[in-house]
């Protein structure tokens, strides 16, 4: 009986978590490659969960939670700091895994833009999400974004919010028009070179994800950034 009261109290607290999701407009998406498996990487805890929403609310309460598993048959929830595709056991029937759309690092959250857009359309898509096309202010942030791109968009160029559209050679961030205070250009490979009028910033796998100037009308994946309290 005592366990039932405890369970009801936990459920009530989790309802508050659900409210938090709606306020933050947070989202998650299913990772079909992990279905019916047991993910090993970043496992933190397994607990009871009567629904997928409940399980997602548990995940969203933790900054470290990048992904969670839910099994509706046994009503259980697994909280993970990471879900690597190469770190799984097969044949764990009934489990599905979900990744948080926004990944937290320091004072920002980042969203992978999974459609290839021209630079300006990528910028607009981030604006629609009340965010900006990612802007990099430190080595730590650049390293984090590189790792995120390597895992989520392997071998792809990824748009950043920098541009020299107004004055050739004067690079600014789109959300503020402020000059770069940090940069990680592929200088060893002669970047930026404005070859054929290149005015938009992206990272380039051929140059080890260092920064290059690209033609703004090329289509690449992108990353949005929003600051969190």
> 157-166 as b/e, with b when 16 or more CB fall inside 10 Å?
bbbbbbbbee
For 152, the 3-state DSSP assignment is helix
Binding to Ca ion in span 145-164, by CB under 5 A: 164
Minimal distance, residue 146 CB to Ca ion, in Å: 13
Q: Say whether residue 139 binds Ca ion (CB under 5 A).
A: no
Contact 70, 102 (CB under 8 A): no
Minimal distance, residue 158 CB to Ca ion, in Å: 14
Q: Which is nearer to Ca ion, 63 or 194 (CB)?
A: 194
Minimal distance, residue 6 CB to Ca ion, in Å: 42
Q: Which is nearer to Ca ion, 83 or 134 (CB)?
A: 134
CA separation for the pair 81, 58 (Å, rounded): 13
Q: Which is nearer to Ca ion, 51 or 146 (CB)?
A: 146
Q: Which is nearer to Ca ion, 98 or 185 (CB)?
A: 185
Count H helices, E strands: the chain?
A: 4, 15
Q: Say whether residue 142 binds Ca ion (CB under 5 A).
A: no
Q: Which is nearer to Ca ion, 97 or 142 (CB)?
A: 142
# binding residues, Ca ion (CB under 5 A): 4
Binding to Ca ion in span 7-46, by CB under 5 A: none
> What DSSP assignment string belongs to 208-222?
TTEEEEE-TTS-EEE
For 173, the 3-state DSSP assignment is strand
Omega before 30 cis (within 30°)?
no
Spatial CB neighbours of 38, under 8 Å, sequence gap ≥ 6: 88, 89, 92, 95
Phi and psi dihedrals of 177, rounded to 5? Answer: 60, 20
Q: Which helix H or strand E contains 70, and what residues bound it?
A: strand 67-71
Q: Say whether residue 109 binds Ca ion (CB under 5 A).
A: no
Minimal distance, residue 87 CB to Ca ion, in Å: 29
Reading the block at residue 106, the tokens are: 């320091």
Q: Which is nearer to Ca ion, 71 or 199 (CB)?
A: 199
Reading the block at residue 214, the tokens are: 């690209």
Query: Which residue from 194, 195, 217, 228 is in contact with Ca ion, where contact means CB under 5 A?
Result: 194
Minimal distance, residue 67 CB to Ca ion, in Å: 23
Q: Say whether residue 135 binds Ca ion (CB under 5 A).
A: yes
Minimal distance, residue 174 CB to Ca ion, in Å: 12
**Candidates 21-29, 46-54, 129-137, 152-160; binding stretch for Ca ion (CB under 5 A):** 129-137
User: Which positions touch Ca ion (CB under 5 A)?
Assistant: 135, 164, 194, 199
């Amino acid at each position: 009986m005592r366990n039932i009261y405890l369970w009801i109290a936990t459920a009530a607290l989790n309802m508050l978590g659900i409210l938090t999701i709606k306020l933050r407009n947070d989202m998650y998406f299913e990772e079909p490659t992990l279905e019916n498996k047991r993910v090993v990487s970043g496992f933190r805890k397994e607990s009871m969960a009567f629904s997928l929403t409940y399980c997602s609310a548990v995940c969203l309460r933790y900054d470290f939670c990048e992904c969670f598993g839910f099994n509706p048959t046994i009503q259980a929830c697994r909280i993970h700091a990471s879900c690597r595709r190469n770190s799984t056991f097969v044949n764990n029937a009934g489990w599905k895994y979900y990744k948080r759309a926004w990944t937290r690092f320091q004072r920002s959250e980042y969203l992978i833009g999974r459609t290839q857009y021209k630079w300006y359309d990528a910028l607009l898509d981030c604006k629609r999400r009340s965010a900006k096309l990612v802007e990099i202010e430190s080595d730590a942030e650049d390293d984090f974004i590189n790792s995120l791109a390597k895992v989520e968009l392997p071998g792809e160029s990824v748009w950043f919010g920098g541009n020299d559209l107004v004055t050739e050679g004067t690079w600014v961030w789109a959300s503020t028009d402020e000059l770069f205070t940090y940069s990680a250009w592929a200088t060893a490979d002669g970047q930026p070179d404005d070859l054929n009028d290149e005015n938009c910033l992206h990272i380039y796998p051929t140059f080890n994800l260092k920064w290059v100037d690209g033609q703004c009308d090329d289509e690449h994946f992108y990353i949005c950034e929003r600051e969190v309290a």
